[in-house]
A and B are shown apart, each in its own frame.
Chain A
Amino acid sequence: MLDPTTPLQGLGDRLAAPPLPVEVRSLVYETGGKRVIDGLDVTIDSGGMTAIMGPNGAGKSILLRLLHGLIVPTAGDILWAGRTMDRQLARRQAMVFQRPVLLRRSVAANVSHALGLRGIVRPERAIRVDEALKLAGLEAHATTPARVLSGGEQQRLCLARALSLEPDVLFLDEPTSSLDPTSTLAIERLLLGAQRRGIKIILVTHDIGQARRLARDVIFMHRGRVIEHQDCEGFFEHPRSDGARAFLNGGLVL
Chain B
Amino acid sequence: MIAFFDRRTILVLLATLLLAPVVSVGVAAQDDFIIVQSTTSTQNSGLFDHILPKFTEKTGIDVRVVAVGTGQALKNARNGDGDVVLVHSKPDEEKFVADGWGMKRHDVMYNDFIIVGPVSDPAGISGLKDADKALKKIAEAEAPFASRGDDSGTHKAELNLWKQAGIDPTKASGDWYLETGSGMGATLNTAVGKHAYTFTDRGTWLSFGNKSDFDVLVEGDPTLFNQYGVILVNPAKHPRVKAKQGQAFVDWLTSAEGQKAIASYRIDGQQLFFPNARPGT
Contacts and interface: CB of A to CB of B under 8 A. Distances in A.
**Touching in the complex, A and B, CB below 8 A?**
yes
Interface in A101-150: 106, 143, 145
A145 B3 CA distance: 11
Nearest to A106: B2
A108 to B, nearest CB: 11
A216 B2 CA distance: 45
A215 to B, nearest CB: 41
Contacts of A106: 2
Interface in B3-53: 3
Interface string B227-263: 0000000000000000000000000000000000000
Interface of B: 2-3
Top 4 closest A-B pairs, CB basis? A143-B2, A145-B2, A143-B3, A106-B2
Contacts, number: 4
Interface in A61-75: none
Contacts of A145: 2
Contacts of A143: 2-3
A110 to B, nearest CB: 13
A37 B2 CA distance: 47
A106 B3 CA distance: 10
Contacts of B3: 143
Interface string A144-173: 010000000000000000000000000000
A198 B3 CA distance: 38
A143 B3 CA distance: 9
4 contacts: A106-B2, A143-B2, A143-B3, A145-B2
A106 B2 CA distance: 9
Nearest to B3: A143
A109 to B, nearest CB: 9
A145 B2 CA distance: 9
Contacts of B2: 106, 143, 145
A143 B7 CA distance: 13
Nearest to A145: B2
B238 to A, nearest CB: 56
B6 to A, nearest CB: 9
Nearest to B2: A143
Nearest to A143: B2
A143 B1 CA distance: 11
B220 to A, nearest CB: 76
Interface string A11-41: 0000000000000000000000000000000
A217 B2 CA distance: 46
A250 B3 CA distance: 51
A146 to B, nearest CB: 12
A72 B2 CA distance: 41
Nearest to A109: B7
Interface string A212-253: 000000000000000000000000000000000000000000
Nearest to A105: B7
A72 to B, nearest CB: 35
B4 to A, nearest CB: 12
A143 B2 CA distance: 8
A179 to B, nearest CB: 27
A158 B2 CA distance: 22
A58 to B, nearest CB: 44
A105 to B, nearest CB: 8
A129 to B, nearest CB: 15
B129 to A, nearest CB: 79
B3 to A, nearest CB: 8
B178 to A, nearest CB: 57
Nearest to A144: B2
A147 to B, nearest CB: 13
A143 B4 CA distance: 12
